[in-house]
Amino acid sequence: MSLLRISAIAGLFFSQLSFGQYSQVALVPASFNTEANEFAIRKFKDALVFVGAAKDELGNQLYDSKTNEPFTDLFLVSDSAITDFKIPNASGVSSLASTRAFDGPISASDDGNIIFFTNNLIGRRVKQTLGLFYTIKTPLGYGDPIAFSFNSNDYNTTHPFYDEATGYLYFSSDISSGIGGMDIYRVNFKDGTFGEVETLGINSVSNDIFPSVYDGKIYVTSNRVGSMGGYDLFVCEGDSVQRMEAPFNSSHDDLAICWLSSKTGFYSSNRIIDEIQSSDSTRKKDDDIYAFVIEDELNIVSLDVTLTDENGNPIESALLTVIDDSTGKMKFSSLSDFEGRVVGVLDTLGNDAANAYNIIITKEGYVFKEQVIVADAKDTSSMDIVAIDTDATTLETEMELSDVLDIKTIYYDFNSSALRQESKVELDKLVLFMNGHPEVLVELGSHTDCTGSDQYNLWLSKRRAASAVSYIKSRLKVPGKILSQGYGENVPEVSCDCESNSCSDSDNQKNRRTEFIITSLNFSSQK
């Protein structure tokens, strides 16, 4: 995964495979699926092990006589052959991993020398209780299974996943001290010794089960609020928990993902294969295992900015809008929180794509500079030097807006009040600002140098101001919010003596100007 941050507190993030968004994913039902349940496939050395229906010698499915639930067994997939999964001990006898009751998913070290698995605890309960066991390989075979100390007849402990990179064993349990039905826990396992069990902050008040880890992210199955239907796959990175998108999830149950590489793996679902793209189906069947191949990854462009005023104070409830610069369509819009922060996903780009985004921030009583940010999937290093300016300028009466809005000088042809095309581009900046700030009343003042008579200069400045205001008014949501004023040569920027010809070309240029002054502010609410 690549992750680039533009600035310390404000910028675009450019990441790959961040929250399970992909442009094309091929799904193929596993060849060993049956009319019964197959689920929770896991790697075991160069093979795979999955949970399937337990059957007797005649091929009849076995059921728990107390609950009428189907028993499960473990099966090994190796060279396309399906066999019972066995863990032979020194005597060649298969140990607890395969029984005539409930056998759950396994997880093993990369070399297969350590195997964790789910099995039944001995007890006289109406419903059999599950626990975790592990065994370590010796020169003579696997040792006798050792029960995990967390096991108890009072609750289930199941769904192990051993992350060899970190040494953590992840598992699920419905112990009463959890926050949901089933919760995810982890414990460090080193040199045959377990550390203290940790509760993870990714748990919900619903069921969180089948944990797995790939590329530093934790994947869980959950029926929490926000699922597409039944159980869904979620990916957790830090404190962030995001639902994976279709086709990984559907309106049916989708569970127990197993990554083989960054583009391939397996997961289980009870969807109908020809309805993968149809999320409104209500039909269901037993769980099957699906192989997936990511054919085209999408790069995710996300935003994380903090908006502040001139003193560094956060600005709450500012509206940040992102517009696609090529299409003009809105890509994102959100209000800043009480810390002035705005976070969200703007877009997804193919590996060879680039796009520009127009960032507009508005808040009554403040002004932000409009900016264009470019995201380029082909050259992500360019993202490092592009920062988003999130500092606001507080609006005040008598404030001149040219520098604030980056409005360049408005020029006219000699003895003309007609607007040039380039002047209209500059005036559009004021239009955009005023439509986002109905609290302001702006005076557009036109000034001349002292060449010519006072009367003529006053007349010409009024015509030029009126021409610009007419253009602006036709584009304002509230046309009465702008005033026109011509000052002629009466309010010079640079004082000089025209009669003695002491005014330089530079002085005259500074005096020939258009100013945009805030004359009043009428706030509808407190800032």
Same domain, 374 and 445: no
Q: What is the rounded CA–CA span in Å between residue 95 and residue 72?
A: 16
Mind listing the pLDDT tens digit of every residue in the chain (527 residues)?
222 222 223 445 544 443 445 557 888 888 888 888 888 999 999 899 998 888 777 777 777 767 677 788 888 888 778 888 888 776 766 655 666 666 778 999 999 999 999 888 765 444 578 899 999 888 888 888 888 989 998 999 999 999 999 999 999 999 999 998 999 999 999 888 899 999 999 999 999 999 999 999 999 999 998 888 789 999 998 878 889 888 888 888 999 999 999 889 999 998 876 544 444 444 456 888 999 888 766 677 777 888 888 888 999 998 988 899 889 898 888 898 999 888 877 777 776 788 888 888 888 888 887 788 888 777 655 443 345 667 788 899 999 998 888 898 887 776 778 888 999 999 999 998 999 889 999 999 998 888 888 899 899 899 999 999 999 999 999 888 999 999 988 888 888 877 777 788 888 878 888 899 999 998 875 44
Domain annotation covers residue 68: yes
- The SS3 of residue 196 is coil
**370 within domain boundaries:** yes
Q: With respect to residue 399, please indicate whether it lies within any of the assigned structural domains.
A: no
The span from the CA of 145 to the CA of 89, in Å, is: 9
For residue 17, tell me if it sits in a domain: no
- Are 232 and 254 in contact by the 8 Å Cβ rule? The answer is yes
Judge whether 9 lies within some domain. Answer: no
Residues 200 and 308 in one domain: no
Please give the Cα distance from 478 to 273 (Å, whole number). 56
> What CATH number does residue 358 fall under?
2.60.40.10
User: Residue 6: inside a domain, yes or no?
Assistant: no
Closest CA to 32 of 62, 79, 77: 77
CATH of the domain at 228: 2.120.10.30
Which pLDDT value is given to residue 265? Answer: 92
User: Tokens 């009072």 identify what position?
Assistant: 154
Residues 201, 341: one domain? no
The reply to whether 342 falls in a domain is yes
Beta bridge partners of 241: 236
Per-residue confidence (pLDDT) for residue 419, from 0 to 100: 87
Please report whether residue 448 resides in a domain: yes
User: Looking at residue 164, what is its pLDDT?
Assistant: 92
Task: State how far the Cα of 355 lies from the Cα of 373, in Å rounded to an integer.
Answer: 8
288 and 313, same domain (yes or no): no
Distance of alpha carbon 266 from alpha carbon 254, whole angstroms: 11
> Pick from 423, 444, 425, 450: which is nearest to 509 by CA?
450
Residues 440 and 496 reside in one and the same domain: yes
Q: Which of 273, 297, 321 is the last residue of a domain?
A: 297
437 lies in the same domain as 334? no
Q: What is the CATH number of the domain that holds 455?
A: 3.30.1330.60
| Same-domain status, 325 and 246 | no
pLDDT at 483: 94
Handedness of CA 430, 435, 437, 439 (dihedral sign): positive
Number of structural domains in the chain: 3
Instruction: Clarify whether residues 236 and 348 are in a common domain.
Output: no
Residues 6+ positions from 386 with CB-CB distance below 8 Å: 6, 11, 12, 373, 374
Tokens 């992909």, residue located: 22
Domain assignment of residue 368, given as a range: 300-394
Same domain flag for 336 and 288 = no
Task: Let me know whether 350 and 281 are in one domain.
Answer: no
Residues 272 and 314 in one domain: no
Using the CB atoms, write b or e for 198-235: b if 16+ within 10 Å: eeeebbbebbbbbbbbbeebbbbbbbbeebbbbbbbbb
Q: Of 297, 318, 343, at which residue does a domain stop? A: 297
* Token pair 């796959």: residue: 233
Residue finishing a domain among 260, 277, 297: 297
Rounded to 5°, the CA angle 494-500-506 comes to: 35
355 & 372 share domain: yes
> What angle separates helix 421-436 from helix 454-473, to the nearest 10 degrees?
60
Q: CB–CB of 394/310 below 8 Å?
A: yes
> Which strand ranges, in their side-by-side order, compose the sheet holding 38-44?
38-44, 47-53, 72-78, 81-84
